[in-house]
Structure 1
Amino acid sequence: METCANCGQYVSPSFARVFGDNEDAVHACPNCASMRTIMEAGAAGRV
Structure 2
Amino acid sequence: MANRAYKFRIYPNDEQKILFAKTFGCVRMVYNHWLDRKIRQYEENKT
The TM-score, its normalising length taken from structure 1, stands at 0.25
Q: Which has a greater percent of helix?
A: 2
Task: Work out which structure has the larger RCO, using CA pairs closer than 8 Å and 6 or more positions apart in sequence.
Answer: 1
Larger radius of gyration between Structure 1 and Structure 2: 2
The TM-score, its normalising length taken from structure 2, stands at 0.25
